[in-house]
Amino acid sequence: MRRKEGKKEQAILDAAVRVFSERGYHNAKIATIADRAGVATGSVYLYYRNKEALLLAIFDHIWGRLATGLAAAIKRTDLTPVQKLETAIDLMFELFILNPALATVFVNEQNFLIRNKKGSVMKQYDHYLDLAEEVIREGVRKKFFDPSLDLKLIRHFITGGLRSLLQQWTVQPSAFPLNRIRQHVKTFVKSGVLAR
């Protein structure tokens, strides 16, 4: 079944997520992605130069969406820093609960992209971490969070911990349901950063 013109790009991205999730980025083929998207192989190349461009577009979407959501939460004056931190955690889990295949791609390919400084992923990733650090800074300033926190350490510990838990979930989804992980992460993170 061929896709209508306006929906092709999204269909290609969605198919790429599924194929990368099932086969891994390195084993995925553009022809398989095109077939899953319901488009001709040549159509994929109209939108994306190659397989790497597809992967970069997926990660631009992930980090862009997370950063936009967190930036909106930061601007809200009706939320405490604790609620903003919870929002940061919720944003990530909601994205992956809605699309478990995306979580698998995230876990399997994030380190590859960051390690090799591919595309704008590192910049987007750092932007999101800067926003999360801003939430912690606000919490320290307003005396919600422990002032002795090492912000650089915390920002990487939290995102690394989330990535590790997501990896466990991809291996054993029934043993590590995402909603349960989300609640435990919130409890653990808050108890680790709250002022005593």
pLDDT value at residue 2: 46
Burial grade of 58 (CB within 10 A; 0-12, 13-18, 19 or more): buried
Each of the 196 residues of the chain gets a pLDDT tens digit; together they read 444 456 899 999 999 999 999 999 999 999 999 999 999 999 999 999 999 999 999 999 999 999 999 999 999 999 999 999 999 999 989 999 889 999 999 999 988 887 777 778 888 888 999 999 999 999 999 999 999 988 888 877 877 888 888 888 888 888 878 888 888 888 888 777 777 7
Asked whether the beta carbons of 94 and 76 are under 8 A apart, the reply is no
Residue 23: closest CA among 113, 97, 112, 104: 104
Q: How far is CA 33 from CA 47, 50, 77, 194, in A?
A: 13, 11, 44, 46
pLDDT value at residue 3: 45
pTM above 0.85, yes or no: yes
Asked whether the beta carbons of 11 and 38 are under 8 A apart, the reply is yes
Q: Is 145 helix (H, G, I), strand (E, B) or coil?
A: strand
pLDDT value at residue 166: 85
Q: Is 77 helix (H, G, I), strand (E, B) or coil?
A: coil
User: How far is 168 from 47, CA to CA, in rounded Å?
Assistant: 33
Query: Which domains does the chain show, CATH number per domain?
Result: 1-48 (1.10.10.60), 52-193 (1.10.357.10)
Q: Which residues contact 194 (CB under 8 A, 6 or more apart)?
A: 82, 144, 145, 146
